[in-house]
Amino acid sequence: MHSYDTIIIGAGIGGLVSAALLAAEEKDVLVLEQHNSVGGCAATFSHREFRFDTGATIGSGFQNNGPMQWLADKLNICWPTQPLDVAWEYREGKTRIPLDNNRHTLLQHFPASESFWREQADVADRLWAVSGKLLSLYQHSRPQQIAALLHTLPAKVCSPKIVQLSTMSAKGWLQKHKLYGDAAFSRFIDAQLLISAQTTSSSCNALYAAMALDLPRQSPCSIDGGMGTVADILSRKINSSGGQVNCREKVLSFTVDKNQITEVISSKGRYTTREIILNGSSAELATLLGKEIPSVWQRQSCARWGAFILHIAADEEIMKQLHSSHLQLVNANSGKLAEGASLFVSSASPHDRTRAPEGKIALSISTHTAVQPWWEARKKGRDTYTAMKQTYTEKILSLVESHVSGFRSNIDFCVAGTPLTYNRYTARHLGLVGGYKQKSLLPPRQNRFGIKNCTLVGDFTFPGQSLAAVTVGAVLAMDRLSRRL
């Protein structure tokens, strides 16, 4: 039986960042991943000479002094990024708004929102500065960390503005600026928050919203080879630093003694360990412990949405009508922003020949969807489930066709994924995406079983659902954990 300092369960970005930091400190680490590749919701997979992103498609946090740049410097690695002048283009009816860092077109469409965006930028800058300070203090002594934060925090986050926003929702923030009554602007904000925070203004804390809305302003980028390249680089770094990453090895259960996990039982072996890191939520932890999922977690922490996504191979000619590599399409007549009424279209760069053959392009089109109807459809039988997929596929392709004439005729093939697909490949409970509910300023407690040597990382443990947020959360968790090892 092999023994390790730390076993990391799940090779999503949170797990890989944790493992890479510990391996760099010469800790004996093992990463166990049930799927055949690393990355989780930020992975890339191959199908018929095309490479598709499983979920996340835009890089964030790679700006100077950003979390991904900090991580690269810490681990002595390099990210193959390409800057995006336009993060994505918002289209609703005849409205077209390219979301870039100067926001000129955005302000032309919504001139009354200028004060809101000015305040958003100021708040986000303050919070980015706090994030940078937290990262810079990694592995410093506790007295050094406390002294530095006492020097920084009052100036950055103790202003009346920050305190006020910390107690209100994004909807309240819009009301403060007399903007919530503007239906078009409110719908625009909700659409942006769905992309970056997986929720809408009535269910999102204003400070979280300030960071989520900042993505187009903070050097968004594409990654050569797809988002999975980030995970691949981290995986190689773990191995080269003496750690071990095992794919196709599913963790089945734990042995627990006196509130300590002493043994991990997987599909391929048994291991002893001092510490466990779970890239997941209390739902996954409950399953491994053989316990009921806590009802309080389902009420307070459970994300609301899953994703329905189409992976499409198409002719490169289609790029002439896209104008941007990423589009957000909203059905102005729907009255809602999910279930095919709001889409996010992402195309690989035509210059990245690792993603598609010459003259072709790899596309992903996603929409938020409630997870339970998909599970109910599957229970009724494969025919019912397949019919539901076909209905969603048709609805999505029709909306895209209304903005991109001739889109269907350029498609070579189309593969659909549902919450059940996410559940199967990422092991996320019910295929939910987007972490915890973000109404409260503080993240909800995740480890609800009294396990003393289990640390949770990922989008259920830190504000936001992006590479940047998950990375910061993992770094802070490893700063605490490394003191115990």
* Mean pLDDT in residue range 272-285: 94
Q: Where are the alpha helices (DSSP H) in 170-318?
A: 170-176, 183-197, 206-212, 228-240, 282-289, 295-300
User: Residue 303 to residues 14, 199, 369, 371, 476: CA-CA distances in angstroms?
Assistant: 17, 9, 12, 10, 22
Q: According to the model, what pLDDT value does residue 153 have? A: 76
| Cα gap 246→34, rounded to integer Å | 8
Q: Is residue 446 pLDDT above 70, yes or no?
A: no
Given pLDDT bands bounded at 50, 70 and 90, which one contains residue 91? very high
- Which amino acid belongs to residue 189? I
Q: According to the model, what pLDDT value does residue 300 have? A: 66
Q: What size, in residues, is the chain?
A: 485
Q: Is residue 443 pLDDT above 70, yes or no?
A: no
Q: Is residue 177 pLDDT above 70, yes or no?
A: yes
Q: Is residue 230 pLDDT above 80, yes or no?
A: yes
Q: According to the model, what pLDDT value does residue 274 have? A: 96
- Is 433 or 400 the better-scoring residue by pLDDT? 400
Q: Is residue 158 pLDDT above 90, yes or no?
A: no
Candidate from 3-7, 66-70, 446-450 with smallest mean pLDDT: 446-450
Q: Is residue 361 pLDDT above 90, yes or no?
A: yes
**% pLDDT > 90, the chain:** 74
Phi, psi of 276 (to 5 degrees): -120, 135
Q: What is the pLDDT of residues 47-60, one digit of tens each?
A: 999 999 998 899 99
* Mean pLDDT in residue range 136-151: 87
Judge if pTM exceeds 0.85: yes
* Mean pLDDT in residue range 371-381: 97
Q: According to the model, what pLDDT value does residue 465 have? A: 62
Given pLDDT bands bounded at 50, 70 and 90, which one contains residue 151? confident
End-to-end, the C-alpha distance of the chain in Å comes to: 20
- Is 148 or 179 the better-scoring residue by pLDDT? 179
* Mean pLDDT in residue range 402-425: 94
Q: According to the model, what pLDDT value does residue 26 have? A: 95
- Is 445 or 162 the better-scoring residue by pLDDT? 162
The average confidence (pLDDT) of the chain is 92
Q: By CB neighbour count within 10 A (0-12 exposed, 13-18 middle, 19+ buried), where does 446 fall?
A: buried
